[in-house]
């Protein structure tokens, strides 16, 4: 039976994993009867955002692994517990946590760096030629993880696409329902809530991405 790793970045769109995207990913995997395991880096969040007001809660801190456990219903492992031989592929949902906790794109733009725990985790899949799916803003990490010429999409936001290209990637514009596939590097990406107006729209591209990742195993 195929087994897919899912990398989370907290819980909540403004400072962690986008919950709809994460749940839609797990649902799509389950509907395909694919086993999955959630992971998250055991690090502190960049900051904590009050999702009711949108304001940063000064003086409050939360752990990415602990918060991600909320989405995973407690069934989660730290990234350094990965046994790569047990997994066939990886999927990374979006949300600002991907740009704040997994890397620092939210503050550093095209000069961003990937968290060492995250780069080591993803490298396990890249170096063993296993497919990886990136959702929403998560694809912004791809050039840093895979190098020059890698192909992906974040939708059609010109500034984010420009940053992707400045880091050495080759961005392709896409609509919300689309996926973009880099066959050479075994990467699949989709815009999801970079463009989606609702959860139904987000689900279309995510289901396509999950299906494609599983097919590429």
**Distance between CA 59 and CA 190 in Å, rounded?**
35
**Distance between CA 211 and CA 45 in Å, rounded?**
31
Cα distances (Å, whole numbers) of residue 34 to 21, 28, 76, 187, 215? 17, 9, 17, 19, 11
Cβ neighbours of residue 51 closer than 8 Å, sequence gap 6 or more: 12, 13, 14
Decide if 132 contacts 187 (C-beta within 8 A): yes
75: closest CA among 6, 3, 121, 19?
A: 6
91: closest CA among 129, 138, 49?
A: 138
**Distance between CA 179 and CA 205 in Å, rounded?**
6
Known catalytic residue at 136: yes
Task: Work out the burial of residue 152: count CB atoms within 10 Å of its CB; fewer than 13 is exposed, 13-18 middle, 19 or more buried.
Answer: buried
Q: Which one from 38, 103, 136, 170 is the annotated catalytic residue?
A: 136
Catalytic residues: 136
């Amino acid at each position: 039976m195929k087994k897919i790793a899912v990398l989370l970045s907290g819980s909540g769109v403004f400072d962690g994993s986008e919950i709809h995207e994460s749940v839609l990913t797990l649902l799509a995997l389950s509907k395909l009867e694919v086993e999955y395991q959630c992971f998250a880096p055991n690090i502190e969040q960049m900051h904590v955002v009050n999702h009711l007001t949108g304001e940063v809660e000064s003086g409050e801190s939360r752990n990415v692994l602990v918060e991600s456990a909320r989405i995973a219903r407690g069934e989660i492992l730290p990234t350094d517990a990965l046994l790569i031989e047990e997994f066939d592929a990886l999927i990374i949902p979006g949300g600002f946590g991907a740009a704040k906790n997994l890397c620092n794109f939210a503050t550093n733009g095209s000069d961003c760096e990937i968290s060492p725990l995250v780069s080591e985790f993803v490298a396990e899949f890249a170096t063993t030629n296993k497919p990886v799916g990136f959702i929403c803003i998560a694809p912004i990490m791809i050039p840093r993880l895979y190098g020059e010429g890698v192909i992906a999409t974040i939708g059609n936001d010109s500034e984010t696409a420009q940053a992707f290209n400045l880091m050495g990637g080759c961005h392709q514009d896409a609509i919300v329902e689309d996926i973009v596939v880099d066959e050479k590097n075994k990467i699949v990406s989709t815009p999801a809530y970079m463009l989606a107006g609702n959860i139904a729209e987000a689900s279309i591209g995510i289901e396509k991405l999950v299906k494609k990742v599983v097919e590429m195993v």
